[in-house]
Structure 1
Amino acid sequence: MLKQSFISAIGLILISLLGGCQVDSTQKIAQQLQPSATEINLNRDWQFSKTHPQTGLAELEQQHWQNVRLPHTPQIEPKVVNDQWQGVAWYKKTLSIQPGLQGKKLWLRFEAAMNRADIWLNGNKIGQHQGGYLPFTLDISDSVKVGENKLLVRLDNRDNPVTGPKALKILDFNTYGGLYRGVNLLVRDPLHISDEMLADKTASGGVFVTFPKVDKTESQIQVNTHIQNQYVDGKTFELRQQLMADQQIVAQTSSGELKLAAGQDHQYSQLLTVASPRLWSPSSPNLYQLRTQLYLNGRLLQQQNTRIGIRQFAFNQQHELLINGEKTFLRGVNRHQEYPHVGYATSKQADYRDAVKIKSAGFDYVRLSHYPHSPAFMQAADELGLVLIDAILGWQYYSPAPEFRQHVLQTCRDMLRRDRNHASVLAWECSLNESDMPDDFIADLHQTVHQEYPHSYSAGWQHGFDVYLQARQHRLKHYETPQQPYNVSEYGDWEYYAQNAGLNQDSWGDLKQDERTSRQLLSDGEARLLQQARNIKEAHNDNLAIPAFADGYWVMFDYNRGYADDIEASGIMSLYRLPKYSYYFYQSQRDANVQSTQFDSGPMVYIASEWTAESTPLVTVFSNADEVELRLNGQLVARQTPQQDALSTHLNHPPFIFNVGQFKAGTLEATAFINGKQVAQHQVSTPGQVSGITLSMDTSGIPAQAGVNDLVFVYAQLVDSKGNLVPLNQQQIEFSSKGDIQIVNPDAVMTAQGKAAILVRIGDSLANASVTATSAKFKLTSAALPFEQSNSKKQQ
């Protein structure tokens, strides 16, 4: 147990830093703390100001400062971001340090800061970092004083030739800005487990877990722990490892007595053997909790918890992927992490909901495009069973400057150090996407991956990496039979958008007609949404005909681009996370026997039609069942098996196509059967006149949470007198809120396919919080949506 004086000091600093959190006393906090609770969240009580780039420290007091909470974005952007804010922003905060922390090691860890960060403490510059996607840690032990300390952070998110990628005005995505992830104060004894970012050690720092043996009868876990002794004398200590499953210890080991001289550091290796382990895979994402405990003189000094999954990724001679020895094809998707209006400044809960949506759509793999995504999303991938390709920042930009090359190599190292213990990571894309890199630089990147994580896999879009990533639009003109593990990294968008397969997307040429592309907004109507689904069906089927171990559709969610005045709409869900028909195509490709309480799964059937007079009489139904029966107003249209054609030969479950003949208003009802047993139903009705507005909240596997700056989507739906969706577009809906919540949308909210969406920020309480929607055109107001009651309901 930690000494009471140390615990009390932590309690006092918690009171100073948590701001709005109410506590009864220092003693109450002290009683709640455990040895591992030495990470103090600093996300509250910041002040923020935008300034001219030349503004200096002496001029800051004259600036206007706004009170903010992290995660934070410098500017709330409109739905279509065609002029993303770039410039210099400042953040400041007061740290109150109590006397009990003297002699302790104090580190500030920034999880991300866009893009160049300069940091001052009490007027003295203590650090600088370039790169907006990965964490950095600063040792402030000798810079703080007892009492109040002034922390100041200057962020510059303007185009940067050292960090890349392209200038924003010609970039295919937005980079946003701000302290958009959390900041923590780490309190350590002078004898401690190091921080992996601060230590800056190859294949070391912190806790690093690998698996020398993976087998369902017995597996081995190697735990490498990096210890630093910053006392002025040598120390004798003990290092223990405990592997936990369901709160029970299933394996443990102790180092016995270890000695480390003053000012020295060392990485210690320990081996755990686990009998009959529960292995991690996309279908069984079993996780363990590893407790790494550091004891000094019999006293628990530090405990660090690491969630791990025991698993093995390997490739056979045919370059097929083996997960724990079982051949696996990964059906996947690319993801940009932006949210509407707030950019990257999402909550951990919002990132988890994104992962749930991806898994619910039928995917088992995500390529993190084109930069490192949040640790919260990766933790969700571990939990849900999403295999990841982890990527450094890069897109159509390379510089021969030594500073650029050095920065990219360091970014590769930092990404592996942050993410190496995630069960979900298959390969490391330490490659500049669609950027012509020289061979020697490719060799350096490949070598860096293997230095930081021996026996892992590098990945890149040029030859020279372990895994070859090739987009389908490039394959169509430059395909060669793979001689190594091959992943169709992107498909389904660009090859249906432009005739050329070049890399200069800001110099478009030979664009296809709008109705033929995969870039279809939710508001573009039934015919064009069906075209997107047909394109995807053709492309995915084609991918299955070549020796690839995975493919990744471009892209999961619609997103904004720096160089475009519209939304890139190839997502199978809208910017506001509403599904298009293509979402259900992918869902139908997952086997019906996959069952989970964590995401939508099991047998499914979906009618891809609005069923209005303009609808096609050839009705498409997506299902993972053997047979589907379609009825119109209770009368049987047909009961049939999936359509077999040249574009469906390799699909798990081709779509069902029914010829209804002449349109007749009413209800289409699809019933799915497996082995003759009814397993799922779906119906669509011809809409009548708008007579109401219904509201729902998207919780997607995790409820809205107060006190953590959470963000949730609320949807309004136009319905007729029978409750049927009326799929009208561009109808304005006005929203109002009550309670400690805030509607984020800065611009008018319009319907798409009869649905309007807002993003809501949650304050410190859900009590009495509600949202109401109104349509002036239809003279309708919805019933209030109470957040506390709706929070426990799963919404789609």
Structure 2
Amino acid sequence: MLKTSLLSLAALLASSVSALATDTAFNDGWRFHRVESGPALGHDALPAAGWTWETVRLPHTAKVEARVIQAPGRQAAGPAQWQGDAFYVKRFRTDPAWKGQRVTLRFEAAMNVADVWLNGRHLTTHLGGFLPFTLDLTDGLKADGENEVVVHLDNRDNAVTGPKPLKDLDFNTYGGLYRGATLSVRAPLHITDEMLADHVAGGGIVVRQTHVDGTRANLTVTTEVRNDGAKAQHFTVTQRLARDGKTAVQTTSETVTLAPGAALSLPVDLSVAHPRLWSLDDPALYDLETTVTADGKAVDSRRTRIGLRSIVMTKDGLWLNGRKTVLRGVNRHQEYPYVGYALSPEASRREARLIKAAGFDYVRLSHYPQDPAFMDAADEVGLLVLDGIPGWQYAPPDPAFAAQVVRTCRDMIRRDRNHPSVLAWECSLNESPMADALVDALHATVHEELPGPGVYSAGWMPRAYDIYLQARQHRLPETGKEAPAAAPDKPLIVSEYGDWEYYAMNAGFQQGQWGDLLPQERSSRQELGGPEKGLLQQATNVQEAHNDNLGLTAVGDGYWAMFDYNRGYAPDLETSGVYSIDRLPKETAFFFMSQRDAKADGSGAMVHIATRWTPDSSPDVRVFSNADAVELRLNGRLIARQAPDQDRLSTHLRHPPFTFHLDRFESGTLEAVAYVGDRAVARQQVRTPGAPHHLELSPDTQGVAPAAGHNDVLFVRARLVDADGTTVPTTGTDIHLGLTGDLTLMSPDHVPTEAGTASFLIRIGDSLKGAAVTADGAGLAAVSMAVR
């Protein structure tokens, strides 16, 4: 039918030609075709003769979308993103070594309805675009020859999957095979894939921690093993827990006999003396190696990374490893400009690092399950996450919809159940009027899938869930003045705050009506390139709301939102983000950074002057710091050395801002020095910018190096600076970027600056050899930078 590159046999057999499983990335050599217009083709549609095809690598977006430039007005509008039919086709050869083995293909996500064929035979119709599904290819493979997989995707609105028709939705869902795929070859006796489990709490490996403290950690590891062979198998399961390559504990089960076609779940108890516990400040991780051995040979093996920790939540708060903790958090949409959801694993890891560096210890994954690579990175950096199913102001009374929601809850838990970063399971449709029966079913599903202590369901309707999620705007009446919230006898998380209550005089349930709006100058929705006054107003709103939240008995709170994002129901960006959609910080970011304590030795201390210091700047200068005192100087002249502010916006804050009142603006250099006692621990300078002098180029790696061969996407910043290296904070200055080597621009090659920085998005190809970028514009000399 179609010619594509063949899957490398060497890659498939990277492990020795033993019976041990091989898991191989199945991301290269796909052929892609997007149907530009017309009615839905239906589940039985296959590629048509005469189509043109593009060779692509996963993760891949069905369409590169234009970057939204902020539009005036707040009226509702149709969706900007593409919706329709798309096809992916890949060919690969059956290897003789697979004879007698089980071959499966796992897609980590496919938006939104996926029909998959193998060699012309329809294998499945999978509903839902945010979670994995696995297909057993064994019986359909050609014994010795070339196979063809066809994937037909339809990302149109779907009444069964939700989350809501795009024209009414507060975020975009994009399309494509936007996460990776894996081809696995396993022996007949093997550890099962959790996405193929057909029973409660089944599939793969489940780690339950029954008791954890600094003296001892007790856990039960349950492994589901299946025998697809023709005869009974006698086997053992060995669990080895190690840290930094050193064994902490190892246990082997008794020999078990498993009949042909049968599966069983085998629990093994482990006990670790004096464990190193996973925490927000020290996210210690262990490697759990699970090995199935039959007839003296290892036939299957799986590695699971875990963290040993104890979480207890009550109406009085949260205890992590016995220590009471209040979580400072944020909500995250996973989209990037241009590529939508199609982030590389490296890009997802950069996101987690950025969120942690911005002062947060908790992330609400709104409003859908997010990339496994992000979950891995949350484990690594010490972020607790609230894992949630797709849902937003939509709950039709259709039994098929309810069944899909419950299945999605199960699948999310099975995928993420062993991550130490998971705080709780938001198996709840956000801001949606769920029927009591559905609430009960979702709460029950959480505890069916993960029975035992330390497991919590969470939802915005407090009736059955273990944790009550309440947005701040939902406890504010139309007067805008705070009213006492109903306080159910259970843990509380402020799920969202800081945006809507400063945007409209209502609770936000009818967002598409655009009613009761507040003046723009009061809003938290401020563009990075907008007036300094607006950015400072956003920071004031956040300070007020976060301070208010800290007056509650709450586990934590989550600001809305981490990043600016696109909406389906409006033509403009939602700009309440701590960072822009291009991942550049607003002043609010530095407020949150200042709320994390410095260490006793002064490390981690920070200070930030929240001004551009131009003639338009206020002479009241705000400084964010986590120190005891701050000294401010202007052109070397001492303005004051003072303690933090004491006002109604700071009553509960750990580290209130410092406000200095100057008589007037004076061009030059402001310098802030932060002190703990008499010791200077941090300092920063802000200079009045001069005329543009040159461009500076930098990659935004967040400590994760660009990766060739992974479809890695990376922001490159071109900054407009004066002769002293101060950013010239103009918005709208055109900058051009050129590429050398195996790089692709996902953004346009001409991008306007925003607050002095033009952000380009590039994709890394097969090699970084000779990879470089060159920027020019504004009549300035070109500047180049190697990408590595």
Q: Structures share a fold, TM > 0.5?
A: yes
Partner letter of residue 426 of structure 2? Answer: E
Residue 54 of structure 1 deviates from its aligned partner by 2.8
Report if aligned partners of 2:189, 2:300 keep a CA contact under 8 Å in 1: no
Letter in 1 for 2:188: P
Q: Which of 553, 563, 567 lines up with 1:557 in the alignment? A: 563
1:216 lines up with 2:206 in the alignment: no
Task: Specify whether residues 308 and 634 from structure 1 end up closer, same or farther in structure 2 by C-alpha distance, changes over 3 A only.
Answer: same
1:114-193 correspondence runs (5 A): 114-145=111-142, 146-193=144-191
| Residue 476 of structure 1: how far off its partner (Å) | 1.6
1:580 CA displacement: 0.4
Are positions 1:371 and 2:377 aligned together? no
Residue 572 (structure 2) aligns with: 566
- Cα deviation code 1:568-621 (max 9, x no counterpart): 00001000100000000000000011899xxxx700000110001110000010
- Structure 2 gaps of 5+ residues are 70-78, 478-482
Match in the other structure for 2:34: 50
SS in 2 for 1:713: strand
Which position in structure 2 is the counterpart of 1:791? none
Q: Distance in 2 between matches of 1:259 and 1:26?
A: 34
Mapped partners of 2:125, 2:487: distance in 1? 46
Q: Which amino acid aligns with 1:173?
A: F
> Aligned-pair distance for 1:173?
0.1
Distance 2:46 2:726 in 1: 62
For residues 678 and 595 of structure 1, do their structure 2 counterparts lie closer, same or farther at Cα, with a shift above 3 Å needed? closer
> Do structure 1's residue 621 and structure 2's residue 623 form an aligned pair?
yes
Matches within 5 A, 1:656-735: 656-735=658-737
Query: CA offsets, 1:651-702, max 9 Å, x none?
Result: 0000010112111110001111112111111111011111111111111021
Please say if residues 6 and 29 of structure 2, whose CA atoms lie closer than 8 Å, have aligned partners that are also in contact: no
User: Alignment identity in percent?
Assistant: 53
CA contact (8 A) 1:482 1:547 kept: no
Once the two structures are TM-superposed, the CA of residue 28 in structure 1 deviates from its matched residue by 12
- Indicate conservation of the 8 Å contact 1:472/1:495, yes or no: yes
Please give the alpha-carbon distance, in whole angstroms, between the structure 2 residues aligned to 1:33 and 1:246. Answer: 28
In the alignment, the residues of structure 2 paired with residue 31 and residue 314 of structure 1 have an alpha-carbon distance, to the nearest angstrom, of 42
Pair 305,30 (structure 1): closer, same or farther in 2 beyond 3 Å: closer
Post-superposition shift, 1:213? 1.1
CA deviation after TM superposition for structure 1 residue 26, in Å:
4.8
Q: Work out whether residues 694 and 782 of structure 1, in 8 Å CA contact, stay in contact via their aligned partners in 2.
A: no
Match of 1:200 in 2: 198
Say whether residues 1:38 and 2:38 are aligned partners: no
> Residue deviations 1:365-397, cap 9 Å, x none?
000000000110011000111001100000000
| Aligned pair partner of 2:520 in 496, 509, 514 | 514
Q: Tell me if the contact between 2:21 and 2:187 (Cα under 8 Å) persists in the aligned partners.
A: no
User: Partners in 2 of 1:59 and 1:214 — Cα distance?
Assistant: 54
1:307 maps onto 2:291 in alignment: no
Equivalent position of 2:85 in the other structure: 88
1:203-352 to structure 2, matched below 5 A, reads 203-316=201-314, 318-352=315-349
Contact 1:490 1:552 (8 Å CA) reproduced: yes
Shift of 1:186: 0.9
- What pairs with 1:757-796 in structure 2 (closer than 5 Å)? 757-775=759-777, 778-788=778-788
Match of 2:509 in 1: 503
Deviating more after overlay: 150-159 vs 655-664? 655-664
1:731, CA displacement in angstroms? 1.0
Residues in 2 aligned to 1:344 and 1:415: alpha-carbon distance in whole angstroms:
18
**1:65-80 counterparts in 2 under 5 A?**
65-80=53-68
Does 1:459 pair with 2:458? yes
**Would you say 1:523 and 2:510 are equivalent positions?**
no
Cα RMSD after superposing both structures: 1.8
SS at match of 1:408: helix
- Equivalent residue, structure 2, for 1:634: 636
Q: Is the 8 A contact 1:157 1:177 kept in 2?
A: yes
1:581 is matched with which residue? 587
> Hey, what's the Cα distance between the residues in 2 that align with 1:141 and 1:449?
32
Are 1:35 and 1:303, in contact at CA under 8 Å, matched by a contact in 2? no
- Where 2:476 maps in the other structure, the secondary structure is helix
Shift of 1:514: 1.1
Aligned to 1:472: 472
Separation in 2, partners of 1:617, 1:217: 55
Equivalents in 2 of 1:679, 1:32: separation in Å? 54
The question of 1:439 aligning with 2:426 is answered no
Task: Compute the displacement of 1:109 (Å).
Answer: 0.4
* 1:486 matched residue in structure 2: 492
Give the distance between the partners of 1:520 and 1:26, measured in 2 at CA: 52
Deviations 1:722-778 (A, max 9, x none): 111111111111111111111111374111111110111001111111111111xx3
Mapping of 1:355-370 within 5 angstroms? 355-370=352-367
Alignment partners' CA distance in 2, 1:571 and 1:662: 31
Q: 1:30 to 1:657 in 2, by over 3 A?
A: closer
CA distance in 2, matches of 1:221, 1:673: 45
Runs of 4+ in 1 over 3 A off after TM superposition: 25-37, 55-59
Deviation at 1:713, TM superposition (A): 0.5
TM-score if structure 2 supplies the norm length? 0.94
Unaligned runs of 5+ in 1: 1-14, 19-24, 789-796
Q: How many residues align?
A: 762
Gap change, CA 1:310 and 1:34, over 3 Å in 2? farther
Q: Which amino acid aligns with 2:456?
A: Y
- Taking a change above 3 Å as real, the CA distance of residues 59 and 629 of structure 1, as seen in their structure-2 partners, is closer
**TM-score (ref. length: structure 1):** 0.94
Deviation of 1:402 (Å): 1.0
Deviation of 1:59 (Å): 5.3
Q: One-letter code of the match for 1:17?
A: L
Deviation of 1:58 after TM superposition, in Å, equals: 6.2
**Distance verdict in 2 for CA 1:32–1:683, change over 3 Å:** farther
- Matched residue of 1:784: which SS? strand
2:41 is matched by which residue type in structure 1? Q
Give 1:781 deviation, angstroms: 3.1
In structure 2, the CA distance between the partners of 1:30 and 1:548, relative to structure 1 (3 Å rule), is closer
